[in-house]
Every structure is written in C-alpha cells, then in structure tokens.
Amino acid sequence: MAEEEESPQERRERWMEREARKADERRPKKAKCASCGKDVEEGEFIEFEGRILCADCYADALEKDMDMGAAEGAGAG
C-alpha cells in the first residue's frame, strides 16, 4: 500500500510555505520618511502612528510628544 500522492495536509503546508515566501518578497525593503522625505532602507525606519519615519524624525516626534506632556503639566502654551 504505497502512498505516492501528497496528503491534503502536506499540500496545505507546502502552499503556506510558498505564500509566506511570496509575502516576504513583496515586503518593501525601502521606504520614504513621511516627515523629511528621506529615503530609508529596511531597519532604518520606524512606523510611528501609522507613518514611516526615519530615526531622526522618530526621535523628533518622541521629543514633541514629551514636550506636549510637559506643557500640559505646566499649563503654559
């Protein structure tokens, strides 16, 4: 009793593996900073509040967030 054919499960696993590889290829390796427009490569940008930011602009955004918090506490504009 030889089973030469793939079982449905094996076929599914193969298909999922292939799809995962395709998705990986489709993932952008490069992006553009939404704030300063600089071209950034994978690993050099961060998604912040739904926007792509370079490391500099991300630090800026974090600082502004903190400033806003501080201003709120001081009650001055």
Q: How many CB atoms lie within 10 A of CB 70?
A: 10
> For residues 9-30, b (16+ Cβ closer than 10 Å) or e, as one string?
eeeeeeeeeeeeeeeeeeeeee
Nearer Cβ to Zn ion, position 31 or 38? 38
Rounded to the nearest 5°, which phi and psi values hold at 51?
-120, 150
Considering only CA atoms, give the Rg of the chain.
Answer: 23
Convert residues 20-39 into a mask of x (bound to Zn ion by CB under 5 A) and - (unbound).
Answer: -------------x-xx-x-
Q: How far is the CB of 53 from Zn ion (least distance, A)?
A: 6
Q: Which is nearer to Zn ion, 35 or 48 (CB)?
A: 35
Q: How many residues bind Zn ion (CB under 5 A)?
A: 6
Least distance (Å) between residue 5 CB and Zn ion: 54
Query: Which residues would be at the binding site for Zn ion (CB under 5 A)?
Result: 33, 35-36, 38, 54, 57
